[in-house]
Amino acid sequence: MKAKGSRDLMITRFVTAVSEIARNAATHGEGGRMLIYDLPDPTLIGVEFIDEGRGIRDVETALTDGYSTRKNSLGRGLGGAKRLANTFTIESKPDKGTVVRMTGICTKR
Amino acid sequence: MNAAAIYAVEGILLVSITSDITDSDIIELQELLSNRIAKSETRGVVVDISALEIVDTFVGRVLAQLTAIARLLDAETYVVGMRPAVAMTLVELGMYLPDNHTALTLDHALEKMRSAGLISGISRRA
Amino acid sequence: MTEKVLETTLQVLKEDAEGILVDWIDQADEDGAKRSDLFSEREGRDQAASMLRAFRLGVRDTSREGDFDLRDEHWADLRGILSEITHERVERGVLPGEMAAFVLALKTPLFSRMSQKLEGEASKLIEEILVVSKAIDAFAIYTNEVFIAEREQIIERQRDEMLELSTPVVELWDKVLTLPLIGTLDSLRAQEVMESLLQAIVERQAEVVIVDITGVKTVDTQVAQHLLRTAAAVRLMGARCIISGISPKIAQTMVELGVDVGEVRTRSSIKNALTDALTSVGVAIRAIEDSPRSGK
Which of A11, A20, A73 lies closest to B56 in CB terms?
A: A20
Predicted pLDDT of residue B9: 83
Residue pLDDT, tens place only, C205-214 = 999 999 999 8
- Lowest model confidence (mean pLDDT) among B60-74, C5-19, C66-80: C66-80
- Taking only Cα atoms into account, the Rg of chain A, rounded to an integer number of angstroms, comes to 14
Residues of B in contact with C202 (CB under 8 A): 83-84, 104
- Lowest model confidence (mean pLDDT) among C32-41, C229-238, C261-270: C32-41
Interface test with C, best of B50, B80, B91 (most C CBs within 10 A): B91
CA gap B119, B25 in Å, rounded:
28
Neighbouring CB atoms inside 10 A of B10's CB total: 15
Query: Mean pLDDT in chain C?
Result: 83
Q: Which of C239, C186, C189 is nearest to C210 (CA)?
A: C239
Structural domains in chain C, CATH included, are 2-162 (1.10.490), 170-280 (3.30.750.24)
* Interface touch A74/B86, C-beta < 8 Å: no
* Interface touch A80/B85, C-beta < 8 Å: no
Predicted pLDDT of residue B126: 38
Q: What are the backbone dihedrals phi and psi of residue A50, each rounded to the nearest 5 degrees, phi first?
A: -125, 125
Residues of A in contact with B86 (CB under 8 A): 12
Q: Is B93 on the interface with A (CB under 8 A)?
A: yes
Structural domains in chain A, CATH included, are 8-105 (3.30.565.10)
* Model pTM score: 0.69
Residue pLDDT, tens place only, C47-81 = 888 888 888 888 887 766 656 677 777 788 888 88
Q: What is the ipTM of this complex?
A: 0.88
Residues forming a β-bridge with A99 = A50, A91
Predicted pLDDT of residue B119: 77
* Interface touch B94/A84, C-beta < 8 Å: no
Q: Is C261 on the interface with B (CB under 8 A)?
A: no
Cβ atoms of C81 and C50 closer than 8 Å: yes
Residue of C nearest to B88 (CA): C233
Q: Is the pLDDT of residue C265 over 80?
A: yes
Q: Is the pLDDT of residue C100 over 50?
A: yes
Interface test with B, best of C187, C234, C237 (most B CBs within 10 A): C237
Q: Is the pLDDT of residue A4 over 80?
A: no
Predicted pLDDT of residue A104: 87
Predicted pLDDT of residue C2: 43
Which of B96, B102, B109 lies closest to C237 in CB terms?
A: B102
Report the percent of chain C where pLDDT is more than 90.
15
Instruction: Tell me the torsion sign for CA atoms C207, C212, C216, C218.
Output: positive
Predicted pLDDT of residue A6: 65
